[in-house]
């Protein structure tokens, strides 16, 4: 079953790990819009005609909805611990991402200065200095790097434009450690081809790029919900722990969600 966010500002969701968490979906509320089309994406496949014009929330709408929600939360005495940009696709593709981030920082300052701001991004827009500047201002700049091998990355993430694993790592490096690399480990097959980003060859290449990119932390996880490619399987948490140890040996802390 496909999982789509049907609102621009969603939550709050309360969890032990994150506390009170508010989400911002800068993508359409009725479909996915992303320049990747990952085999495991919880939002399902990109609809056919992904290049067609999509209805995005405007900068003013996002600011207004966020402010209304923060006012409600203030009145209820429960302000957010974290505000996360995630949702139905890639948030940095929004043409006003930079300005929206400035608005969000201002609202955070006004209502909940203690709250962290997180962005979950696939790192494909980091060739744009404005996007890099905006991501430098957030507390958790979480960037996807699912493989150190371009061939696997192209198969698993299915980008709509050419990218390489090395190219993404180089772009991540410009944050000089003010970023988190997030990697999803998975095994399965699609259209008759196997995929497994946990093999020794894969891990060697991935760890090499993690070292080069130099994040302050690595987050690793595996699939949790239905995936658009049917034959996708979880990697057991014990194996994620072994992978984590290899990264920790570089002096980089790892967070696992199993
Ligand atoms: S980058 Fe994220 S939103 Fe885009 S296809 Fe992959 S999992 Fe889905």
Regarding whether 248 and 195 lie in a shared domain, the answer is yes
* Ligand 1 close to Cβ of residue 9 (< 6 A): no
The residue from 96, 111, 143 where one domain ends is 143
Quick check: CB of 41 below 6 Å from ligand 1?
A: yes
Largest Cα–Cα separation, the chain: 55
26 and 125, same domain (yes or no)? yes
Provide mean pLDDT across the span 26-35. 92
Let me know whether 113 and 182 are in one domain: no
Q: Whose CA is nearest to atom 5 of ligand 1?
A: 37
For the entire predicted model, the pTM comes to: 0.96
> What tens digit of pLDDT does each residue of 167-211 get?
999 999 999 999 999 999 999 999 999 999 999 999 999 999 999
Please indicate, yes or no, whether residues 44 and 165 belong to a single structural domain of this protein. Answer: no
Give the pLDDT confidence of 69-124 residue by residue, as tens digits.
999 999 999 999 999 999 999 999 999 999 999 999 999 999 999 999 999 999 99
Residues 17 and 119 placed together within one structural domain of the fold = yes
Look at residue 49 and tell me whether its pLDDT is greater than 70: no
Identify the domain containing residue 59 by its residue range.
1-143
Q: How far apart are CA 170 and CA 84, in angstroms?
A: 25
123 lines ligand 1 (CB under 6 A): no
Nearest CA to 219 out of 210, 230, 228 is that of: 210
Among the atoms of ligand 1, which is closest to the Cα of residue 40? Answer: 7
pLDDT for 106: 98
Place 61 in a pLDDT band, splitting at 50, 70 and 90.
very high
In this model, does residue 1 exceed pLDDT 80?
Answer: no
Which residues lie below 8 Å from residue 237, measured CB to CB, with a gap of 6+?
Answer: 222, 256, 258
Q: Are residues 186 and 106 in the same domain?
A: no
In this structure, are 99 and 210 located in the same domain?
A: no
How much is the pLDDT for 193? Answer: 98
Please tell me the total count of domains within the chain.
2
Final residue before a domain boundary, out of 143, 165, 184: 143
């Amino acid at each position: 079953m496909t999982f789509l966010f049907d609102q621009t500002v969603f939550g709050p969701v309360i969890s032990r790990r994150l506390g009170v968490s508010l989400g911002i979906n800068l993508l359409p509320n009725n479909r996915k819009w992303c320049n990747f089309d990952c085999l495991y994406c919880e939002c399902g496949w990109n609809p056919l005609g992904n290049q067609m014009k999509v209805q995005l929330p405007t900068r003013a709408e996002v600011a207004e909805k966020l402010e209304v929600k923060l006012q409600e939360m203030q009145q209820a005495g429960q302000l957010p611990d974290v505000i996360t940009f995630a949702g139905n696709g890639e948030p940095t593709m929004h043409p006003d991402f930079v300005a929206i981030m400035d608005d969000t920082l201002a609202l955070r300052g006004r209502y909940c200065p203690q709250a962290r701001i997180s962005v979950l991004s696939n790192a494909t827009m980091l060739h744009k200095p404005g996007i890099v500047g905006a991501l430098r201002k957030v507390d958790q700049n979480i960037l996807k790097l699912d493989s150190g091998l371009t061939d696997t990355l192209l198969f698993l993430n299915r980008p709509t434009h050419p990218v390489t694993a090395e190219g993404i790592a180089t772009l991540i490096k410009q944050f000089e450690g003010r970023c988190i690399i997030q990697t999803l480990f998975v095994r399965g097959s699609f259209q008759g081809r196997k995929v497994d980003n946990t093999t020794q060859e894969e891990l060697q290449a991935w760890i090499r790029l993690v070292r080069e990119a130099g994040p302050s932390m690595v987050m690793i996880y595996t699939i949790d919900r239905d995936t658009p490619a049917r034959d996708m399987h979880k990697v057991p948490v014990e194996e994620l722990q072994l992978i984590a140890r290899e990264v920790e040996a570089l002096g980089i802390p790892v967070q696992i969600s199993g």
